[in-house]
Amino acid sequence: MAATKKPRLRLRDVALCRLLSVVFVTLCGVLLLIFLLSSNSTSTTIVTHDTDSVDAYHHDLKFEKWHDLPQQSDLSLRLEKMNRLPPRNLDLYPTLAKDHIIVVLYVHNRPQYLKVVVESLSHVVGIGETLLIVSHDGYFEDMNKIIDGIRFCQVKQIYAPYSPHLFSDSFPGVSADDCKDKDDPTEKHCKGNPDQYGNHRSPKIVSLKHHWWWMMNTVWDGLRETRDHSGHVLFIEEDHFIFPNAYRNLQVLTSLKPKKCPDCYAANLAPSDVNSRGEGWATLIAERMGNVGYSFNRTVWKKIHNKAREFCFFDDYNWDITMWATVYPSFGSPVYSLRGPRTSAVHFGRCGLHQGQGENKACMDNGMVNINVEQPDTVSNIELGWNVHTYENQPGYKAGFKGWGGWGDHRDRHLCLSFANMYQ
């Protein structure tokens, strides 16, 4: 009887062991799965928390990994990270006004000029309602110190990470094997393509057009603060004096533009003739778009962006001449801008782009800028009931002008095209 029971006990024991093994493995698997899910959830939370203020940039600012852009320098990479920082002075100006007009100030390396425009902006009525973006072509401590002192509005600094000023021994800066002046590439065994006049690229000169195009693409399509902004953006430069009524006048102009001048692409603070202070008439003015205090919206930007190839392949290192001579004419109709009859911004620069740096005051009269601000310049002086006077057939650069050169190198042209694609 005992002999017949033993095998049954063994079979039962074996079955029980197998059952326990299955249960044990199943429990281990469940615990492991719970651990992995928990770990993954924790990791995601940390990443989200750490990048909460810059999450919109993680896709946009990694464009160099899949576009044909130059190898970045250490400084270039550091500056690109700084572009992700939120605006300053949020404690003083926590919110922006509804339908605000963003102001973009693009600068190079003329601190004496920058002090003047920043001081003028500090007196602009309504400036505290909006965001001021300062776009730097290169990194210069003297320029940074001036921007650091701004307390009159939200301010955000961005730096062109592919500025030639950041690359000391490689493109887009100067390379050892680059052709210079009118070098013959075959004789000199050097690199580069000459412009239409036989001159090779100058990094300091081409930086002007590179910076403007990179800035436009970044402001409209790259920055978290502006990528969804559909209203107007005002663009000014470091040698533009801005009158106290500029922002309020611009608000009036942009509101009147759809009714008074539906064919106008932009609104301007100043006449296209930089030497003019306006006509003083009781009428609005429609004329070709100027390069002092100009503003337009996203619809116009898309039209400009669609002409990236025309912009990038036109042999002129000036962004504004490129626009006048090839981009605007390609729209198929005159490109007018609406402005008031009295200027609200003045171009005061007397030096070229790469002069007037450091403490050199030779570019100013006795080291100062003397601009007379009268009482009408302190308040909005545009009447809602005014009619529009249109200037037709104005002198200036038009379709057919071949350009001043300086933009013949294929590398500059393809870098320019890369900027057009980096946020698309």
Q: Which residues are annotated as a binding site?
A: 137, 239, 347
377-386 as b/e, with b when 16 or more CB fall inside 10 Å? beebbbeeeb
Q: CA dihedral in degrees (322, 327, 328, 331; nearest 10)?
A: 170
Binding positions for substrate: 137
Q: CA dihedral in degrees (17, 22, 25, 29; nearest 10)?
A: -160
- The 3-class secondary structure across the chain, one letter per residue, is CHHHHHHHHHHHHHHHHHHHHHHHHHHHHHHHHHHHHHHHHHHHHHHHHHCCCCCCHHHHCCHHHCCCCCCCCHHHHHHHHHCCCCCECCCCCCCCCCCCCEEEEEECCCHHHHHHHHHHHCCCCCHHHCEEEEEECCCCHHHHHHHHCCCCCEEEEEECCCCHHHCCCCCCCCCCCECCCCCCHHHHCCECCCCCCCCCCCHHHHHHHHHHHHHHHHHHHCCCCCCCCCCCEEEEECCEEECCCHHHHHHHHHHHHHHHCCCEEEEECCCCCCCCCCCCCCCEEEEECCCCCEEECHHHHHHHHCCHHHHHHCCECCHHHHHHHHHHHHHCCCCEEEECCCCCEEECCCCCCCCCCCCCCCCCECCECCCCCCHHHCCCCCCCCCCEEECCCCCCCCCCCCCCECCCCHHHHHHHHHHHHCCC
Question: Which tokens in the block code for residue 189?
Answer: 């065994």
Binding positions for Mn(2+): 239, 347
Nearest to 244 by CA among 372, 369, 87, 106: 372
